[in-house]
């Protein structure tokens, strides 16, 4: 098939689709209801003529008139077939529309003759084409008679107007324009006749596909079953849902199947066909059909293609099963939108926590500082122990709240990808000793024994000292919190094969197996009910996991309910895995931290901070 054939097919298909949309009754199963098919064919011819008519009119008119007059005449000629198609859509009578078209063409030629010399116009012989065209279209003697009558009427009209109006001289080149018009008409008419004659078997196939052996068995299968030849044209149709597909996407026999595919998806379908031609047995592709007469623009479909071979073993065609997956696609889009909403909400949560945590630290530092000044009785002794106790509680609560805020701030930084660890060499024993000094009193108060063991050769490691200190504080603090009096907590540190290993074990209450998988998620604790006996937010282990991951390490937890818990940290001792997320993370934009406050709010905040500083200085 040449490119010209493809272009003409697309023009005719566009005209047919427009005709079906005007009528609002698309073809079903390749057949139109009685009375509709001639109507659609006639409308298709008219709409296609709206494109072909200017191709004849413009070259002919330009040889005799100026280009504005030629363009105006061509647009008038193009409007006539569209108007006739509208008459067809409203009346439903091809006979009435045909007679009106012949009469309109005669009137148009008569007007052309009036403005180009009257009865002496070189364009007047074109009226001889009116009865000829009427006879070809109607294929009846009555059509020839009506065409001749219209031509004679137009001729009489030209004579009448010539006696009433002043006669305009014929423009130069009118004779050549007339000859060119006859030549172009003969060319287009011959092309039309050859197209109507050549694909006659194919046209019959499009109206009613010929039965193919085995296709009647496929009528019970769901979806649309189509058999394609080696070029991809549909030669047979079956399937339980073929009527529904025909109602929603129109005619799909012959070349209609590919033409109905959305232009952006045709490449994928044609590529699948090409793969089958090259020897692959099956292909699967998802496409969209252009929907007609429906509320939705597309019909989403999944097509399973199987290659068929001829007796010689060569590629002979394709058997395709098309299923409507519009509902699945809609559900997929809803799930994608829900995922995006959840990610947006999570980002907003992280941003909110970062903002709140950052802004809470300023007043908390003032509360802790003033309570510490009061506790040391710099401005006079308390009158009773109750006052001293209350000030101590204020200071202790402020310290606890500041620790919580700092943890939330660190978690927000880790989640937003803006937290960086700064590695440096330091002695592991010093960090463990510092942690022991901070938490030994708390362990002794609860009746828990705190021990530590450093393997031989454990000296310096390269890591973030502050992060390692925070990891130890959180792990040992959790162990103290969940270990009953009389229990034991042990901290083991060792270095082997270039990796630092830290193990914190306890003989506490342990974690149930069904809840162990969620331990380490933010705000999650094993005992998370109303009767929880242990304080905390569930951020400790989550922060530990984030800090370990920033070092390129591994976090593992093993626990048995009622027996105890073992937490193991393993990370490179030379700091080589630090901040690996910077190069492994995707290129999505990180959440801005700290968030930029509006200008008035920032000014007001600075004023409050300065007031706190001045008050502390005066104290």
pLDDT of residue 531: 36
Across residues 91-115, what is the average pLDDT?
75
Report how many helices (DSSP H) and strands (DSSP E) the chain contains, helices first.
19, 12
pLDDT of residue 343: 85
* Model confidence band, residue 411 (pLDDT cutoffs 50, 70, 90): low
Q: How far apart are CA 566 and CA 503, in angstroms?
A: 7
pLDDT of residue 583: 43
Above pLDDT 70, what percent of the chain?
Answer: 74
Q: How far are the Cα atoms of 338, 359, 599 from residue 399, in angstroms, in the given order?
A: 40, 16, 30
Q: What is the DSSP string of 429-442?
A: HHHHHHHHHHHHHH
Q: How far apart are CA 357 and CA 374, in angstroms?
A: 26
Q: Are 467 and 505 in contact (CB under 8 A)?
A: no
Q: How far apart are CA 551 and CA 501, in angstroms?
A: 13
E strand map for 119-244: 224-229, 234-238
Cβ within 8 Å of residue 533, ≥6 positions away: 527
Across residues 192-202, what is the average pLDDT?
52
pLDDT of residue 501: 92
Q: Which of 305, 321, 318, 323 is nearest to 218 (CA)?
A: 321
Burial of 206 (0-12, 13-18, 19+ CB in 10 A): buried
Torsion of CA 534, 537, 542, 546, to 10 degrees: -130
* Model confidence band, residue 610 (pLDDT cutoffs 50, 70, 90): very low
Bridge partners for 367 per DSSP: none
Q: How far apart are CA 206 and CA 250, in angstroms?
A: 12
Higher pLDDT, 299 or 217: 299
Q: What is the DSSP string of 559-591?
A: EETTTEEEEEEEEETTSTTTTTHHHHS-SSPPP
pLDDT of residue 592: 41
Per-residue pLDDT tens over the stretch 580-605: 654 444 444 443 433 433 444 444 44
Per-residue pLDDT tens over the stretch 36-88: 566 666 777 777 777 777 777 777 777 777 777 777 777 777 777 777 767 76
Chain center to CA of 542:
34
Decide: helix, strand or coil at residue 463. Answer: strand
Across residues 175-188, what is the average pLDDT?
76
pLDDT of residue 488: 93
Across residues 481-492, what is the average pLDDT?
91
Cβ within 8 Å of residue 419, ≥6 positions away: 410, 413, 546, 550
Torsion of CA 54, 59, 64, 68, to 10 degrees: 50
Q: How far apart are CA 319 and CA 206, in angstroms?
A: 18
Q: What is the DSSP string of 259-310?
A: HHB-TTTHHHHHHHHHHHHTT-SEEEEEEEEEP-SSSSSEEEEEEEEEEEE-
pLDDT of residue 569: 92
* Model confidence band, residue 521 (pLDDT cutoffs 50, 70, 90): low
Across residues 513-526, what is the average pLDDT?
62
Residue 25 region by backbone torsions, left for phi larger than 0, else alpha for psi between -120 and 50, else beta: beta
* Model confidence band, residue 215 (pLDDT cutoffs 50, 70, 90): low
Per-residue pLDDT tens over the stretch 269-298: 888 888 898 888 899 999 888 887 656 778
Q: Which of 537, 448, 524 is nearest to 491 (CA)?
A: 448
E strand map for 137-263: 224-229, 234-238
DSSP 593: S
- Matching residue, tokens 């997956």: 325
Across residues 305-334, what is the average pLDDT?
88
Residues constituting the chain: 619
User: Which range (121-130, 232-241, 436-445, 478-487) has the least confidence?
Assistant: 121-130
Residue 208 reports pLDDT greater than 60: no
pLDDT of residue 448: 92
Residue 504 reports pLDDT greater than 90: yes
* Model confidence band, residue 32 (pLDDT cutoffs 50, 70, 90): very low
Q: How far apart are CA 184 and CA 60, in angstroms?
A: 9
pLDDT of residue 376: 84
Across residues 356-361, what is the average pLDDT?
71
What domains appear along the chain, each with residue ranges and CATH number?
34-198 (no CATH), 206-324 (3.30.450.20), 327-418+591-619 (no CATH), 421-584 (3.30.565.10)
Q: How far apart are CA 85 and CA 155, in angstroms?
A: 26
* Model confidence band, residue 522 (pLDDT cutoffs 50, 70, 90): low
* Model confidence band, residue 393 (pLDDT cutoffs 50, 70, 90): confident
Structure tokens at 452: 């530590």
User: Which range (388-397, 559-568, 586-595) has the least confidence?
Assistant: 586-595
Number of other residues whose CB lies within 10 A of the CB of residue 612: 17
Cβ within 8 Å of residue 384, ≥6 positions away: none
- 115 φ, ψ to 5°? -85, 5
Structure tokens at 445: 């108060």
Structure tokens at 203: 């046209």
Mean pLDDT of the chain: 75
Cβ within 8 Å of residue 558, ≥6 positions away: 565, 566, 568
pTM confidence score: 0.38
Residue 301 reports pLDDT greater than 80: yes
Q: How far apart are CA 114 and CA 170, in angstroms?
A: 10
Cβ within 8 Å of residue 569, ≥6 positions away: 471, 475, 500, 501, 502, 503, 544, 548, 553, 554, 555
The sign of the dihedral angle between the CA atoms of 330, 336, 339, 344 is negative
Residue 201 reports pLDDT greater than 50: no
Q: What angle (nearest 5°) sits at the alpha carbon of residue 122, between those of residues 118 and 126?
A: 100
pLDDT of residue 81: 74
């Amino acid at each position: 098939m040449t490119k010209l054939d493809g272009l003409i097919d697309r023009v005719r298909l566009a005209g047919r689709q427009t005709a079906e949309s005007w009528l609002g009754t698309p073809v079903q199963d390749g057949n139109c209801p009685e009375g509709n098919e001639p109507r659609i064919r006639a409308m298709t011819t008219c709409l296609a003529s709206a494109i072909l008519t200017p191709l004849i009119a413009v070259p002919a008119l330009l040889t005799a008139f100026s280009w504005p007059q030629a363009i105006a005449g061509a647009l008038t000629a193009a409007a006539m077939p569209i108007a006739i198609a509208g008459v067809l859509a409203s009346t439903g009578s091809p006979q009435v529309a045909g007679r009106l078209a012949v009469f309109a063409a005669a009137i148009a030629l008569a007007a052309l003759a009036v403005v180009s010399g009257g009865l002496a116009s070189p364009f007047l012989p074109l009226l001889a084409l009116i009865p000829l065209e009427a006879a070809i279209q109607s294929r009846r003697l009555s059509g020839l008679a009506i065409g001749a009558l219209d031509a004679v009427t137009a001729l009489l009209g030209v004579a009448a107007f010539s006696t009433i109006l002043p006669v305009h001289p014929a423009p130069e080149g009118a004779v050549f324009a007339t000859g060119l018009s006859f030549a172009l008409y003969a060319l287009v008419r011959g092309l039309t006749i050859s197209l109507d004659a050549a694909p006659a078997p194919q046209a019959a196939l499009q109206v009613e596909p010929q039965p193919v052996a085995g296709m009647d068995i496929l009528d019970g299968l769901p979806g649309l079953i189509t058999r394609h030849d080696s070029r991809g044209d549909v030669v047979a149709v079956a399937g339980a849902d073929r009527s529904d597909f025909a109602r929603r996407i129109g005619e799909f026999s012959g070349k209609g199947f590919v033409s109905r595919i959305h232009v952006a998806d045709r490449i994928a379908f044609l590529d699948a066909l090409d793969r089958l031609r090259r020897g692959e047995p099956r292909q699967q592709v998802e496409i969209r059909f252009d929907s007609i007469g429906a509320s939705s623009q597309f019909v989403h479909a999944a097509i399973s293609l199987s290659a068929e071979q001829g007796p010689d073993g060569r590629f002979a065609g394709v058997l395709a099963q098309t299923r409507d997956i519009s509902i699945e696609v809609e559900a997929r889009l809803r799930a994608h939108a829900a995922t995006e909403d959840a990610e947006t909400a999570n980002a907003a949560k992280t941003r909110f926590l970062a903002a709140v945590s950052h802004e809470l630290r300023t007043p908390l530092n003032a509360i802790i500082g003033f309570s510490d000044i009061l506790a040391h009785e710099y401005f006079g002794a308390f009158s009773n122990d109750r006052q001293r106790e209350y000030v101590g509680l204020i200071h202790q609560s402020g310290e606890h709240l500041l620790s919580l805020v700092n943890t939330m701030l660190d978690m927000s930084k880790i989640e937003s990808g803006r937290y960086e660890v700064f590695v440096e060499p330091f002695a592991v024993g010093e960090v463990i000793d510092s942690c022991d000094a901070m938490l030994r009193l708390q362990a002794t108060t609860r009746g828990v024994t705190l021990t530590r063991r450093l393997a031989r050769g454990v000296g310096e490691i390269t890591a973030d000292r502050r992060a390692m200190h925070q990891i130890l504080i959180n792990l040992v603090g959790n162990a103290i919190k969940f270990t009953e009096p009389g229990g034991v907590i042990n901290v083991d540190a060792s270095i082997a094969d270039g990796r630092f290993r830290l193990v914190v074990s306890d003989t506490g209450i342990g974690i149930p197996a069904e809840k162990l998988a969620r331990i380490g998620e933010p705000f999650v604790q094993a005992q998370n009910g109303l009767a929880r006996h242990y304080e905390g937010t569930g951020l400790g282990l989550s922060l530990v996991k984030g800090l370990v991951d920033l070092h390129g390490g591994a976090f593992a937890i093993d626990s048995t309910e009622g027996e105890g818990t073992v937490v193991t940290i393993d990370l490179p001792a030379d700091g080589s895995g630090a901040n690996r997320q910077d190069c492994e993370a995707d290129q999505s934009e990180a959440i801005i931290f700290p968030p930029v406050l509006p200008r008035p709010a920032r000014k007001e905040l600075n004023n409050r901070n300065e007031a706190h500083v001045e008050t502390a200085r005066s104290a």
